[in-house]
């Protein structure tokens, strides 16, 4: 049965909007685990725009399931990962101007570099996942570089404007899943998945994990809004 991995970055984004200490992504992670999430993800960006080093280190101490540290494959992050010991690392491309991760990592551009990164992480017993577009050649290179897991980028699928575009993009993902399965890689999917478009993936039984962040945080704001307002109404009412 597939597992849900919850990305808590955007809880930190709300915190950073005020520059204070709430809402705390570490508390959100605990609630996610109580609700059944089997992995917590956070992306420590080079610019620290949402998750901070403090969050990562506290998550390492408090997460009971598995901690997945998303990161760029750069020296600073490799050293932090080797120090913090997340259960797994997901290597992603990172551009400072982007609002969120915009595409898969081009592993083919430098397989030797990535092989070396994998070795340095595995040396510390950290499993390595690569976030790639649904392309057979990228998935083969992940396998050759020694990756354990391939996370297939579903962002383009989630942005499809018509049903036929969605179907065509879903078929590309389905083929990529087949390819990864044939190589014995663990398979996860993520980016842009929400309460509507995730259902189509039921047919792809080789997927072991779903990485989902934004839509869960967005829904939490709305499903929790009424209760939050009621609680404040009680507090401001004259006795
Ligand atoms: N997977 C990867 C590699 C990501 O970078 C992100 C976004 O941080 C996600 C999954 C989750 O995407 P979303 O927030 O759109 O659910």
Q: Which pLDDT value is given to residue 30?
A: 98
**Residue 59: C-alpha distances to residues 65, 151, 173 (Å):** 11, 22, 31
Contact criterion met (CB below 8 Å) for 210 and 36: no
Is ligand 1 within 6 A of the CB of residue 131? Answer: yes
Confidence band, pLDDT 50/70/90 cuts, at residue 36:
very high
Domain extent listing, the chain: 3-236
CATH annotation of 3-236: 3.20.20.70
Q: Percent of the chain at pLDDT above 70?
A: 98
The Å distance, Cα 81 to ligand 1 centre, comes to 19
Is ligand 1 within 6 A of the CB of residue 23? Answer: no
The Å distance, Cα 232 to ligand 1 centre, comes to 32
CB neighbours of 14 closer than 8 A, spacing ≥ 6?
23, 217
Is ligand 1 within 6 A of the CB of residue 192? Answer: yes
Average pLDDT, the chain: 96
Report the distance separating Cα 209 and Cα 10, nearest Å: 20
Which atom of ligand 1 is nearest to 9's Cα?
8
Omega prior to 156 cis, within 30 of 0: no
- Span 103-111, mean pLDDT? 95
Cα angle 24-208-221, degrees, rounded to a multiple of 5: 30
Report the distance separating Cα 170 and Cα 198, nearest Å: 11
Confidence band, pLDDT 50/70/90 cuts, at residue 2:
very high
The Å distance, Cα 6 to ligand 1 centre, comes to 9
Q: What is the SS3 assignment for 3-60?
A: EEEEECHHHHHHHHHHCCCCCCHHHHHHHHHHCCCCEEEEECCCCCCCCCHHHHHHHH
pLDDT at 212 > cutoff 90: yes
pLDDT at 52 > cutoff 70: yes
CA 86, 90, 93, 94 torsion: positive or negative?
negative
Tokens of 208: 């072991």
Enumerate the active-site residues: 43, 70, 191
| pLDDT tens-digit series, residues 77-100 | 999 999 999 999 999 998 766 776
* CB-count exposure of residue 157 (10 Å: 0-12, 13-18, 19+): buried
pTM of the model: 0.96
Q: Which pLDDT value is given to residue 96?
A: 67
């Amino acid at each position: 049965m597939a597992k849900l991995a919850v990305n808590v970055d955007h809880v930190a984004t709300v915190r950073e909007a005020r520059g204070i200490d709430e809402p705390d992504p570490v508390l959100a992670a605990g609630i996610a685990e109580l609700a059944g999430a089997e992995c917590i993800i956070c992306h420590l960006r080079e610019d620290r725009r949402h998750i901070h080093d403090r969050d990562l280190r506290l998550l390492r101490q408090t997460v009971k399931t598995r901690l997945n540290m998303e990161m760029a494959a750069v020296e600073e992050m490799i050293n932090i990962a080797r120090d913090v010991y997340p259960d797994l690392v997901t290597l992603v491309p990172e551009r400072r101007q982007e609002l969120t991760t915009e595409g898969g990592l081009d592993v083919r551009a430098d397989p030797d570099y990535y092989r070396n990164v994998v070795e340095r992480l595995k040396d510390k017993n950290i499993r390595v996942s690569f976030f790639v577009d649904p392309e057979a050649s990228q998935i083969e290179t992940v396998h050759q570089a020694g990756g354990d897991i391939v996370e297939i980028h579903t962002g383009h699928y989630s942005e499809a404007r018509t049903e036929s575009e969605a179907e065509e993009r879903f078929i590309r993902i389905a083929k990529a899943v087949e390819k990864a399965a044939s190589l014995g890689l663990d398979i996860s999917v993520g980016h842009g998945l929400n309460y509507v478009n995730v259902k189509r993936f039921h047919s792809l039984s080789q997927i072991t994990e779903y990485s989902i962040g934004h839509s869960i945080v967005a829904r939490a704001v709305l499903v929790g809004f009424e209760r939050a307002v009621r609680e404040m109404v009680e507090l401001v009412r004259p006795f």
